[in-house]
Amino acid sequence: MAHAPAAQQHALSGVKVLELGALIAGPYASTVLAQFGADVIKIEPPGKGDPLRTWRKLHDGTSLWWYTQSRNKKSVTLDLKQPEAQDIVRKLVAEADILIENFRPGTLEKWGLGPEALHAINPSLVFVRISGYGQTGPASQKPGFAAIAECMGGLRYVTGYPDHAPVRTGVSLGDTLASLYAVIGALIAMHHVKVNKGKGQVIDVALYEAVFAVMESLIPEYSVGGHIRERTGSALPGIVPSNTYQCQDGSYVAIAGNGDGIFKRLMDAIGRSDLGADPALAQNDGRAKQTEMLDGVIASWAAEHTLEHILETLDAASVPCGRIYTAKDIYEDAHYRARDMIQSFVLPDGQPVDLPGIVPKLSETPGQTRWLGPKLGEHTREVLEQIGVTPEQYEKMKQAGLA
């Protein structure tokens, strides 16, 4: 059992969320809501549950990822393909504020659980739908995973080095971006219901659109000048200097000296005040024309010094810089600890485990981990009894494989 912090007020206390779906995009969205006090009921298929339970590194048969992504949720097992289980969902929807699902479009409609049917039961329901390509359009019925969404959204093409194949980020970024947009949409829609006295609505989030939405100037640059942004490795094209440089000891340092004032301080710090005082380099557009030269100057300086010397020198000059953090670096970093971003808990078998802290930080109603990811079906009986299912009915459902 997790060691929970002292009781506190939660911003989303009283908000009821029903989570349908599995893996990352839908469940991560409800995780964020659960961290700030929402009562999240997660529906899982009997037997195996959410596949995330067995993804990546396991401890005692359960994914360590599971414990963090499913914290503060109640696990209820239901076979949604069965009419009796679908009736249970309808009863839960009657009391819910938000429903989050990430099935392929059309799946819930096939089970009689689409927006039209559920809004007839609860007109105020905020119905959040996350899918690869959205609920409409020619690609809507294709299976959608973050790996493909990151390609379609434009992210993969600009990631990596120009002489190599495009690469992915080391996490499922398309999923988590979609999750965050889903949370934003859910809270906007709930405000409309609670404050504006409006009706519930559907929030349609596509993974590829969530990726596309953070692609900065990609489209206006193409639409005006036909420019296609290409892969540039560790540099940030058109924003100079901002790159990663190898140090004398073989490690790497990221230096972002692209602010006008920062650039002058950087040049002073590395002994090139002449460049800092050059009017042609005073603004970013001028520096962008001299990218190769400036990167060469900084790279030559970095190659003569250790990482620690570089960090000390640039920190003293107030130039943004940093090491490339590994999990070990993060775990041992004093700033992470001071910000409560590494939190300690205990797994069911007594094994200590540290999990990421909660973002964002609210001054009056901060997020909280009240318990870790639950056992499969841990709350089924409790939740079903609250909507009128008798112990005898529950046992029959369990024996029939419905729960």
Going by their DSSP bridges, the two strands 62-63 and 73-77 should be labelled as unpaired
pTM of the model: 0.93
pLDDT of residue 9: 81
CA separation for the pair 175, 150 (Å, rounded): 9
pLDDT of residue 236: 83
Task: Judge whether 175 counts as a catalytic residue.
Answer: yes
In sequence order, what are the residues at sequence separation of 6 or more whose Cβ sits closer than 8 angstroms to the Cβ of residue 209? 134, 153
Q: Is there a shared CATH topology between the 16-214+336-399 domain and the 242-246+252-323 domain?
A: no
pLDDT of residue 7: 52
Backbone angles phi, psi at 198, to 5 degrees: -85, -175
Q: Which fold has domain 242-246+252-323?
A: formyl-coa transferase, domain 3 (3.30.1540)
In words, the CATH class of domain 16-214+336-399 is alpha beta
In sequence order, what are the residues at sequence separation of 6 or more whose Cβ sits closer than 8 angstroms to the Cβ of residue 385? 391, 394
Rounded to 5°, the CA angle 251-252-257 comes to: 150
In this structure, what token pair is assigned to residue 395? 């046992």
* Catalytic hit among 97, 175, 204, 295: 175
Please report the DSSP string for 267-289 in residue order: HHHTT-HHHHT-GGGSSHHHHHT
Among the listed residues 218, 202, 214, 226, the one whose alpha carbon sits nearest the alpha carbon of residue 177: 214
Rg (CA), the chain: 25
In sequence order, what are the residues at sequence separation of 6 or more whose Cβ sits closer than 8 angstroms to the Cβ of residue 33? 12, 15, 17, 40, 98, 183, 186
Q: How confident is the prediction along the chain (403 residues), in pLDDT tens digits per residue?
A: 344 445 568 999 999 999 999 999 999 999 999 999 999 999 999 999 999 999 999 999 999 999 999 999 999 999 999 999 999 999 999 999 999 999 999 999 999 999 999 999 999 999 999 999 999 999 999 998 999 999 999 999 999 999 999 999 999 999 999 999 999 999 999 999 999 999 999 999 999 999 999 999 999 999 999 999 999 999 888 899 999 999 999 999 999 999 999 999 999 999 999 999 999 999 999 999 999 999 999 999 999 999 999 999 999 999 999 999 999 999 999 999 999 999 999 999 999 999 999 999 999 999 999 999 999 999 999 999 999 999 999 999 999 999 9
Q: Where are the domains of the chain?
A: 16-214+336-399, 242-246+252-323
